[in-house]
Amino acid sequence: MAKFMLLLHDRPKAFAGLSPAEMQQIVLKYVAWGRRLRVKKLMVEGHKLTENPGRVVRQKRGKPMVSDGPYAESKELLGGYYIVKAKDYDEALHLALDCPHVAYGTIEVRQVDEV
């Protein structure tokens, strides 16, 4: 089975104005999705990244430099990732389509090149 990385980009304010009960519903959806994958042994790992958008290291005038991230306030921020197993890219896409995160941001699906 191939490995895929699901990069979870969060839409800012996606959770603003939700009531506690609505938030609990969302948590349960995520947990249920993760559990389905774990039961089928398709989940390799997954982590949330901290809220701090971090900084970026790039070369400027031939020298490595640290600069602020390329993220404007309104842009979607990489908030976390999952590494999952799937037969092929299509199956990985199906796992992502099923993920509740779709409603609150976007998911970038990339295959790990293991050749």
Partner 1 sequence: MQDSGDTPILVDRLFRSEAGRLVAHFARRFGPAHLDLAEEVVQDALVAALQRWPHAGVPKNPAGWLYRVACHRALDLLRRRAAFDARRDRLSAELSRGQALALADAAFEPAALSDDELRMVLVCCHPGLPREARVALSLKTVGGLGVREIARALLSDERAVAQRLVRAKRRIRQLDLDGELPAAAALAARVESALDVIYLLFNEGYGAHAGRNLVRADLCREAIRLGRLIADADDVSDRRADALVALMALHAARLPARVDAADELVLLEDQDRSRWDQELVALGFAYLDRSIGGDAISPFHVQAAIAATHARAASATETDWKAILALYDELVAIAPSPIVALNRAVAVAKVRGPAAGLEAIAPLTRRRELAGYYLLPAVRADLLARMGRMPAARRAYREALRCRASAPERRFLESRLARLSITEKLA
Q: Which helix (H) or strand (E) holds 94?
A: helix 89-97
Residue 107 CB, nearest approach to partner 1 (Å): 13
Judged by CB under 8 A, does residue 102 bind partner 1? no
Judged by CB under 8 A, does residue 89 bind partner 1? no
CA of 96: how far to CAs of 4, 10, 35, 65, in Å?
Answer: 10, 14, 14, 35
Residue 15 CB, nearest approach to partner 1 (Å): 5
Stretch 14-73 residues interacting with partner 1 (CB under 8 A): 15, 17-24, 26-28, 30-31, 33-35, 38-39, 43, 45-48
CA of 112: how far to CAs of 1, 21, 33, 38, 96, in Å?
Answer: 11, 37, 21, 19, 15
With respect to partner 1, which residue has the nearer C-beta, 1 or 27?
27
How many CB atoms are closer than 10 A to CB 72? 8
With respect to partner 1, which residue has the nearer C-beta, 41 or 61?
41
Evaluate whether 46 touches 81 at the Cβ level (below 8 Å).
Answer: yes
Residues lying near partner 1 in the complex (CB under 8 A): 10, 15, 17-24, 26-28, 30-31, 33-35, 38-39, 43, 45-48, 79-80, 100
